[in-house]
Structure 1
Amino acid sequence: SAAGAAAENETVAGVGFLGKSVSGVSPKDLKPLADAGKSSLGSGVVVFVGAGEDNKASVVVAVTDDLVGRFSAVDLVRVASAALGGQGGGGRPDMAQAGGPDASKASDAIAAVKAA
């Protein structure tokens, strides 16, 4: 399944990007994953979408410190949340979290952040 796929570091519009959908991870455990993603990426934007037991989704967006002036994790997490059927979300410019009711849209949420 796509959820089991290894995370691939990519470059989108010259910016490092890591997007991954994970299952069986609680929302509070997504932030450490995103931190680890930031470390492995060095510079870029990290998106983790977690699917819960009830098919609800939670999403964390992290932006490395060097890019916080260009991208806000809060703005990006709202884009991801909208793709998941949710709204809002919040956090800091370098790390933000949101949720949505439809975890089946995880790849759409990642694509939406890429597009943004």
Structure 2
Amino acid sequence: MPSSPRKLLAHWVTGGVSMQSIHPGYLLPVVPGFFVASIGFSSIHAHNAAIAAFGIGAFFWLVIGTIVTVRLMTGGELSPAATTGLSAYLAAPATANIAWMLSHPEPVGLISSFV
């Protein structure tokens, strides 16, 4: 397995992974890391860097999330060992939510004024 998110994406794009071996655990090394970086940048008041990291995370969430979702919809049943990785599917929205709230601390509208 490639060691960096860029190598992992290149490995997928070049056809190095069969559809049957893809599972939600593939989201973990690629997507939430950028959202965690955005959280860190927000904590040191580096707003532009936080927004950039959030954007990169959102991009990879769309790309990798689509691949994983298509596999879950069309690739048949996951192996029992891979079903525990379904919890990794929640890491992206959870960390994205925290990253967004920290990088945009002011209330945006009626709904966020209740939060």
Q: TM-score range by the shorter chain?
A: under 0.3
Query: If the length of structure 1 is used for normalisation, what is the TM-score?
Result: 0.27
Structure richer in strand, relative to its length: 1
Between the two structures, name the one with larger relative contact order (CA 8 Å, sep ≥ 6): 2
Flag the structure with larger Rg. Answer: 2
